A and B are shown apart, each in its own frame.
Chain A
Amino acid sequence: MTSKSNNLPAPLALPAPRRLSAAWQLRLKGLALPVLIILLLEWVVRIGWLPSYQMPAPSEVALTLGDLAEGGLWKHISASLLRVLLGFAIGASLALVFAAWVGLSREAEAYLEPTFAGLRSIPSLAWVPLLLLWLGIDETSKIVLIAIGAFFPVYLNGVAAIRDIDRKLVEVGQMYGFSRRRLVRRILLPAALPGLFTGLRSGMSLAWMFLVAAELIAATKGLGYLLSDGRETSRPDIVLAAIIVLALLGKLSDGILAALEKRFLAWRDTFNGQSAED
Chain B
Amino acid sequence: MPEHLLDIRVERKTFAATTVLKNIHLQLQPRETVSLLGPSGCGKSTLLRIVAGLEKDFQGELRNTAGEVAFVFQEPRLMPWLTVEQNIGFSADSHYDKTWVAQLIEEVGLGGFAQALPKALSGGMAQRVAIARGLYSRPQVLLLDEPFSAVDAFTRMKLQDLLLQLAERHAIALLLVTHDVDEALYLSDRVLVMDNRPSSIRQELAVELPHPRDRRDPLLARLKALSLTELQRAHVI
Q: Are A190 and B54 neighbours in the complex by a CB distance under 8 Å?
A: no
Verify A175–B52 contact, CB threshold 8 A.
Answer: yes
12 A-B residue pairs with Cβ-Cβ distance under 8 Å, sorted by A, are A172-B90, A175-B52, A190-B81, A191-B79, A193-B81, A266-B117, A267-B80, A267-B81, A267-B117, A267-B119, A268-B80, A269-B80
Interface residue count on the B side (C-beta < 8 Å): 17
Chain B residues proximal to chain A, CB less than 8 Å: 52-54, 71, 73, 75, 77, 79-82, 90-91, 93, 117-119
Residue from B71, B80, B119 in contact with A175 in the complex, judged by beta carbons closer than 8 Å: B71
A174 located at the interface, meaning its Cβ lies under 8 Å from any Cβ of chain B in the complex: yes
Flag if A190 contacts B79 (CB, 8 Å).
Answer: yes
Judge whether B54 and A175 touch: CB under 8 Å.
yes
Docked-complex contact A269 and B118, CB < 8 angstroms: yes
Q: Give chain A's interface residues, CB within 8 Å of chain B.
A: 168-169, 171-172, 174-176, 186-187, 190-191, 193, 266-269
B54 contact set on A, CB distance < 8 A = 171, 174-175
Contact B119 A186 (CB under 8 A): no
Output the least CB separation between B172 and chain A (Å): 17
> In the complex, which residues of chain A have a beta carbon less than 8 angstroms from the beta carbon of B71?
175
Asked if A186 contacts B80 (CB within 8 A), the reply is no
Which residues of chain B are within 8 angstroms of A168 by Cβ–Cβ distance? 73, 75, 77
For residue B96, give the distance in angstroms from its CB to the closest CB of chain A.
Answer: 12
Chain B residues, CB < 8 A from A190 = 79, 81
Please indicate the chain B residues that have their CB under 8 angstroms from the CB of A186 in the complex: 90, 93
Chain B residues within an 8 Å CB radius of A174: 54
With A175-B52, A175-B71, A269-B118 as contacts: A169 and B77 at CB distance below 8 Å = yes
Residues of A within 8 A of B90 (CB): 172, 176, 186
C-alpha gap A187/B82 in the complex (Å): 11
Collect the chain A residues with CB atoms within 8 Å of residue B117's CB: 266-267
| Assembled-state Cα–Cα distance A109/B194 (Å) | 42
